[in-house]
Amino acid sequence: MNTEVVQQLDFSSFPVTRYQGSKRKIVPWIHDNIKGIPFETVLDGFGGTSVVSYLFKKMGKSVTYTDTLRFNYFIAKALIENQKITLLSKDIKQLLQLSSEVHYGDTIERFFRDIYYLDAENKWLDVVTSNILQMNHYQDSVLEYKKALAFYALFQSCMIKRPFNLFHRKNLELRTNEVSRSFGNKTSWDTGFDVHFSKFIKEANGLVFDSSKKCLAKNISVFDVDGDFDLVYLDPPYFKNKTTNETSDYYRIYHFLEGLTMYDEWFHHIDFGSNNLRLERMRNETHLTKSNIRESFELLFDKFQKSKIIVSYKYGGIPSIDWIADTLKSFKRNVYTISKHYKYALNHQNGDAKKNREVLIIGL
């Protein structure tokens, strides 16, 4: 794809994400600062919402996406690896109705009452999740993308009906109490799941396109990825200096979405000692923490030292931007940083242009 075409990207057509830490709002800025770098193959090492991988795909690159969270992997399967499969009207109808061919579970209705959704909504989620997982009217090569698209719509529907779009608290009362609010969108909360789900399926279908370049989605740690890439993009969780960093633990704040993807075995992995029924830590996943983040950066810079490397991080975190840049200089000859003031929802420091700055550390 030539430079002239790349510069005409329509960013308004990119996925609308509701995830903590999403780079959706600054994708045009990221594009402006990477479009002059020559590369054809790229690894998105902490892929998250897939929005940066979607940018790379729009730029005509061969993209490999990876993330340890299964729900994120399904999003990338639907939007990055998938080149042409969409959900048809008959698919939507089958997903929304009861069928004698499907065995329906009741995990959400039975265990999550009064935690995130109303009783009727919990039952709806049990039905539609069962329908997604037991779709069987297509060949496997098509079915995997159909299911991924349906999960994309389900995840978006679940988040739009949640205060703060998160699952970090048992706080259904924030939705149901008849009080004045300074946050959230009660109209979205009260809109039926079936309405949201149908809308997000249409959105997902519109995001599918054939880039003519092979793209892959992987559900593994970036530390376990094999292969050579012209460019490696790293957007790890951001650790603040003086807080618990709960919102940097995506497994914790999106555990409900992760549970949907393992619906048949969800019950066996619920931490019943938590008041909001989080998932137990059950996988050998690479869990980044304040204590190992420096070592992790060093390992990744060494692992991908033959590639161009871009790190996306923020000022004021652990480690510092200077430490990341200086460490990258041990592996790359040309290292420089670019920053931008970035406003985050519910952040009291949004007005501070020095503290709230998104940073790209680029090593060539």
- Averaged over successive runs of 10 residues, the pLDDT of the chain (364 residues) comes to 56 84 88 97 96 97 97 98 98 97 97 97 98 95 97 97 91 80 74 96 97 97 96 93 69 95 96 95 69 95 98 93 98 96 56 72 98
Cα torsion angle, 303, 308, 313, 318, sign: positive
By residue count, the chain amounts to 364
Is there a contact between 311 and 234 (Cβ–Cβ < 8 Å)? yes
Q: State residue 247's pLDDT score.
A: 62
Q: State residue 3's pLDDT score.
A: 41
Classified as helix, coil or strand, 42 is: strand
Q: In what order do the strands lie in the sheet with 357-363?
A: 216-218, 62-66, 41-44, 231-234, 308-314, 357-363, 335-341
Residues 271, 275, 277, 279, Cα dihedral to 10°: -50
Orientation of helix 119-133 relative to helix 89-96, angle to 10° = 130
Structure tokens at 344: 């985050």
Tell me the C-alpha distance between 26 and 4, whole Å. Answer: 21
Q: Which amino acid is at 263?
A: Y
Classified as helix, coil or strand, 191 is: coil
Tell me the C-alpha distance between 119 and 107, whole Å. Answer: 12
Is there a contact between 68 and 285 (Cβ–Cβ < 8 Å)? yes
**Reported pTM:** 0.92
Is there a contact between 11 and 52 (Cβ–Cβ < 8 Å)? no
In what helix (H) or strand (E) does residue 311 lie, and over which residues does it extend? strand 308-314
Which is nearest to 232 in space by CA: 324, 293, 304, 338? 304
Which is nearest to 19 in space by CA: 162, 126, 206, 198? 162
What DSSP character marks residue 279?
A: B
Is there a contact between 338 and 359 (Cβ–Cβ < 8 Å)? yes
Which is nearest to 229 in space by CA: 46, 63, 6? 63
Which is nearest to 160 in space by CA: 181, 121, 189, 186? 189
Tell me the C-alpha distance between 321 and 140, whole Å. Answer: 45
Per 3-state DSSP, the chain is made up of helix, strand and coil in percentages (nearest 5) of 45, 10, 45
Q: Helix H segments across 134-185?
A: 140-160, 173-176
Q: State residue 240's pLDDT score.
A: 83
Is there a contact between 62 and 214 (Cβ–Cβ < 8 Å)? yes
Residue 310, beta-bridge partner list: 233, 362
Residue 217, beta-bridge partner list: 65
Tell me the C-alpha distance between 182 and 205, whole Å. Answer: 33
Structure tokens at 19: 């995830």
Q: Helix H segments across 191-282?
A: 193-207, 250-253, 255-261
